[in-house]
Amino acid sequence: MKKEKIPQQQTITRTPFPASKKVYVKGQLHDISVAMREISLTNTKIFGSEGQVEKNASVTVYDTSGPYTDPEVEVDVKKGLPALRRDWILKRGDVEQLEGATSRYGKQRLANSSLDHLRFQYISKPLRAKDSLNVTQLHYAKKGIITPEMEYIAIRENQRIDVLNEQNPTLAHQHAGHSFGANTPKSHITPEFVRQEVAAGRAVIPANINHPETEPMIIGRNFLVKINANIGNSAVTSSIEEEVEKAVWACRWGADTIMDLSTGKNIHETREWVIRNSPVPIGTVPIYQALEKVGGKAEALTWEIFRDTLIEQAEQGVDYFTIHAGVLLRYVPLTAKRLTGIVSRGGSIMAKWCLAHHKENFLYTHFEEICQIMKAYDVSFSLGDGLRPGCLADANDAAQFAELETLGELTKIAWKHDVQTIIEGPGHVPMHLIKENMDKQLKECHEAPFYTLGPLTTDIAPGYDHITSAIGAAMIGWFGTAMLCYVTPKEHLGLPNKKDVKDGVITYKIAAHAADLAKGHPGAQYRDNALSKARFEFRWQDQFNLSLDPDTAREFHDETLPAEGAKIAHFCSMCGPNFCSMKITQEVREYADQQGVQEAEALRKGMEEKSKEFTQKGSELYL
């Protein structure tokens, strides 16, 4: 019966982050307000002074949590989020409002009154491109149009770094990164740069015209590395309200997109609830639902059923579809000698279909028809890697790379139709074989964004695969992957609960941010610097509030030193009150000030010469 309840407001997490407030930055080309999170900091007590303080400017961070963390915004999950993009879409004058859902299945579900009690109440009529028009961001970009979405993204990616650096130059220092030929602008992102990247196919903006609730975001190697969180019930567990809260919860901790992989009953209705309440793009794997429609029998799948499913979901507002069009009949036997065969669900569904009919994959043969549907709603392709390796032993094999080459061909076809496209990647790969995946993807897929699952760098740690995969994810993100699909601790074992979702998201934020730092993304290091300064100055609250998970940081600290006093104390539980390493550094600075650092530098160089001599003399230390 659990499944039958309608989401209740109170089940949705809305607490703002500590010491944080939502700020909205205005656009210049368009009338837009870009949401960000501003973390205010406490003052630094100047060591040894009579209560003198240094003011610490607040820090702005990228915020995927949507309106839920803004107490000013009233949210009613029964009504869904405000339609941020609605006017932008209509103003373009290239869409028409339909009378209602045009998919056979969509109509059926709507007509079925037994579903009324769990149906979203305010379903608006779907939009679709007028006749032969193309409404994709790629199409606009190629025509030289900078859409509101593009300006929103430029402002969002910059996170006011110019202002921050001006306010606090000491935190502006950042290591020059190594970006393997990515060409992120050195200082900040302009709307025109966003347009160029989208036009080149190097970046995508998942933005279905029927999902106006999304806050625009971009997936491309010259932008911040993004992460995706999978949610979804299955035949075994879960309920609608859990799904909505799971999505809100995942966004709260940093998910840039959500994939709804539901396979249970009522997934059509569940999806409506999730999309209407999601501030981030939603992706799906339509073949999963198509399979349910034919009772789970892969061989019973038809192009017509699949096509109807695409339209059903496109009209609900799904922003990107995983399509396993690269699983070709001739590739299937290449998996026969594998240790773990085909582990992608979509891949094995299509493999089974191909074998059963001894025909080519219908997703491949009907690919251009799929493009026609995608461009009418601006749904982006996520070309699935149905033959990805399921264990280290199968990594980088003939089957995997054969499919990747085909995905490259399909990318060209999608682009011919101005349909935005990203490419999915593995899987299980040992560290030393990760770069080959990235290099081959860039080459074969013409720099279309790469979207990888992990990769997991060892198979022996079920229960910890968020970690085995974060290692690979951080590396491949550095090498150029644009979006990382998270892995939770339950991978291979079961369905993630709320804690698992949070663990997976935080772990992947770490991997993505580590990649941004290594690539030298402009401003990426600012938050690290601010947090480290707070740590050094024993501003415990600021250290907690600047962290990816303030709640856990505070909780862990309090386990050892619960007293409020301890949070302003000039020592930490690791060393105890008697002695603290950081305190001493203050004295070093005073010493250096007397000496003058330059002088010390010179001194050092001189002494080095000496010490060289002295080792040559056989290192007699007491001459």
Q: Is 18 in the site for its own copies (CB under 8 A)?
A: no
Binding residues, as ranges, are 230, 259, 288, 324, 344-346, 385-388, 424, 428, 451, 492, 572, 575, 580
φ/ψ of residue 259, rounded to 5 = -105, 125
458 touches its own copies by CB under 8 A: yes
Report the run of H or E that residue 127 belongs to, with start and end. Answer: strand 127-129
CB 512 within 8 A of CB 472: no
- Binding of its own copies by 548 (CB under 8 A): yes
* Chain residues 482-501 in contact with its own copies, contact rule CB under 8 A: 489-490, 492-495, 497
Q: 82 or 180, CB closer to its own copies?
A: 180
Please tell me whether residue 621 binds its own copies under the rule CB under 8 A. yes
Q: Check: CB of residue 586 under 8 Å from CB of residue 571.
A: no
Alpha carbon of residue 398 to chain centroid: 29
Stretch that binds its own copies, among 103-111, 151-159, 187-195, 426-434 (CB under 8 A): 426-434
Residue 539 tokens read as 């501003």
Q: Identify residues 257-276 at the interface with its own copies (CB under 8 A).
A: 263
How many Å apart are CA 372 and CA 355, to the nearest integer? 27
Residues 6+ apart with CB under 8 A from 574: none
Q: Out of 111, 460, 563, 623, name the contact with its own copies by CB under 8 A.
A: 460
**Nearer to its own copies among residue 83 and residue 300 (C-beta):** 300
Q: Scanning residues 44 to 63, which ones bind its own copies (CB under 8 A)? A: none
Tokens of 173: 């220092």
Query: By CB under 8 A, is residue 478 in contact with its own copies?
Result: yes
Choose between 123 and 561: whose C-beta lies nearer to its own copies.
561
| Angle at 509 (CA atoms; ends 504, 515), nearest 5 degrees | 130
Q: Which phi and psi angles does 237 have, rounded to 5°? A: -140, -170
Per DSSP, the residues of 239-254 read -HHHHHHHHHHHHHHT
Residues in binding contact with its own copies, number by CB under 8 A:
149
- Return the residue of 162, 269, 405, 444 that touches its own copies, per CB under 8 A: 405
Stretch of residues binding its own copies (CB under 8 A), selected from 26-34, 82-90, 208-216, 570-578: 570-578
Taking CB atoms within 8 Å and a gap of at least 24, the contacts of 37-42 are: 37/61, 37/62, 37/63, 37/65, 37/69, 39/545, 39/546, 41/530, 41/534, 41/539, 41/542, 41/545, 41/546, 42/539, 42/541, 42/542
Binding status of residue 285 toward its own copies by CB under 8 A:
no
Q: Which of residues 174-203 bind its own copies (CB under 8 A)?
A: 175, 177-178
Does position 227 interact with its own copies (CB under 8 A)? The reply is no
Q: Where is the binding site for substrate, in residues?
A: 230, 259, 288, 324, 344-346, 385-388, 424, 451
Name the one range near its own copies by CB under 8 A: 33-41, 66-74, 125-133, 399-407: 399-407
- Residue of 331, 377, 381, 450 that binds its own copies (CB under 8 A): 331
Query: If DSSP states are collapsed to H, E and C, what string results for 157-214?
Result: HHCCHHHHHHHCHHHCCCCCCCCCCCCCCCCCCCHHHHHHHHHCCCEECCCCCCCCCC
Which H or E run includes 383?
strand 380-383
- Residue 310 beta carbon to its own copies: minimum distance, rounded to whole angstroms: 17
Amino acid at 238: S
Q: Does the protein bind its own copies through residue 237 (CB under 8 A)? A: yes
Residue 27 beta carbon to its own copies: minimum distance, rounded to whole angstroms = 28
Taking the least distance from each CB to its own copies, the nearer of 116 and 559 is 559
User: Would you count residue 563 as binding its own copies (CB under 8 A)?
Assistant: no
Alpha-carbon dihedral angle through residues 296, 300, 305, 309, given to the nearest 10 degrees: 20
> Among 267, 403, 288, which Cα is nearest to 349's?
288
Residue by residue, DSSP assigns 445-486 as TTTPPEEEE--BS-SS-TT-HHHHHHHHHHHHHHHT-SEEE-
| Residue range at the interface with its own copies (CB under 8 A); choices 5-13, 84-92, 213-221, 350-358 | 350-358
How many C-beta atoms lie closer than 10 Å to residue 259's C-beta? 22
The amino acid occupying position 407 is: L
- Among 96-104, 142-150, 439-447, 539-547, the segment contacting its own copies (CB under 8 A): 539-547
State which of residues 117, 186, 432, 617 lies at the interface with its own copies (CB under 8 A).
432
Shortest distance, position 328 Cβ to its own copies, whole Å: 8
Q: Which of 464, 541, 567, 569 binds its own copies (CB under 8 A)?
A: 464
Q: Does position 298 bind its own copies by CB under 8 A?
A: yes
Which residue among 62, 525, 538, 539 contacts its own copies (CB under 8 A)? 525
| Both structure tokens of 141 | 């970009």
Contacts (CB under 8 A) with its own copies, residues 150-179: 170, 173, 175, 177-178
In angstroms, give the least distance from the CB of 482 to its own copies.
17
User: Phi-psi bin for 519: left (phi > 0), alpha (psi -120 to 50), beta?
Assistant: alpha
Q: Is cis: bond before 341, omega within 30 of 0?
A: no
By C-beta, is 100 or 296 nearer to its own copies? 296
Identified binder of its own copies from the candidate list 18, 100, 181, 463, rule CB under 8 A: 463
